[in-house]
Amino acid sequence: MTKTEKEPVAGLAALPGFPLVLVTVKQNILTAAAFSFFSFQPTPAVMVGIRPATYTFELLQHAKDFGINIPTPDQLDIVRWVGSVSGREEEKFNREEPTPMEGAVIESVLIQECPVNLECKLVHQVQYTGSHHWFIGNIVAVHVDEEYQRDDAIMYWFGEYRRVGEIFYKGR
Ligand SMILES: Cc1cc2nc3c(=O)[nH]c(=O)nc-3n(C[C@H](O)[C@H](O)[C@H](O)COP(=O)(O)O)c2cc1C
């Protein structure tokens, strides 16, 4: 093994990828790879990193909740489109797809075509002036298609969309 010292950003580039999600806030959608599990206890929680320039960020300043929708590789066109157009310029539910779906608990809309929808109550916004501001949400309701498997999700990082991949060991 021959290691070379690199710039700090190379440390981020070396990471394998993050689950790609569609974040719904009120009636808008944003594609996000800056997404992670946050906590199991006292309640299951997730966090998502949003850039302040986005319409989603603006909406989150007044929203009580958000949706996390898991897309599949065959939804790449939707993923790329909602991740390149701002809700300030275009209503993203105006096309045939994606289709809005009402949540059981939250006010923000969900996406019908995504096999998994997490309804999240916004509980914290991390005060940090970096490129992404992190929003933490408690999962208050979940909808999962019976045929969904984790392999059906997409991983993304630094311009690469990946399928989830093989399990090479089960256990801890
Ligand atoms: C693959 C992919 C991943 C992205 N990840 C993020 C992200 O993690 N955070 C973010 O703020 N924007 C991310 N974006 C960009 C937003 O989705 C994009 O700026 C979107 O148009 C913002 O929409 P809005 O202005 O309606 O909120 C990503 C885009 C793509 C295509």
Label residue 151 by pLDDT band (50, 70, 90): very high
Q: Give the predicted TM-score (pTM) of the model.
A: 0.97
Confirm whether 149 is domain-assigned.
yes
Pocket residues for ligand 1 (CB within 6 Å)?
Answer: 20, 28, 30-34, 49-51, 54-56, 80, 83-88, 132, 156
* 70 is a domain residue: yes
Query: How many folded domains does the chain comprise?
Result: 1
Is residue 51, in this structure, part of any structural domain at all? Answer: yes
- Residues 47-102 have pLDDT tens digits of 999 999 999 999 999 999 999 999 999 999 999 999 999 999 999 999 999 999 99
pLDDT tens per residue, range 32-54:
999 999 999 999 999 999 999 99
**Is residue 9 domain-resident?**
no
Q: What is the CATH number of the domain that holds 37?
A: 2.30.110.10
Atom of ligand 1 nearest to the CA of 31: 17
Cα–Cα separations (whole angstroms), residue 41 to 26, 36, 137, 140, 155: 27, 15, 13, 13, 25
Domain encompassing residue 66: 19-157
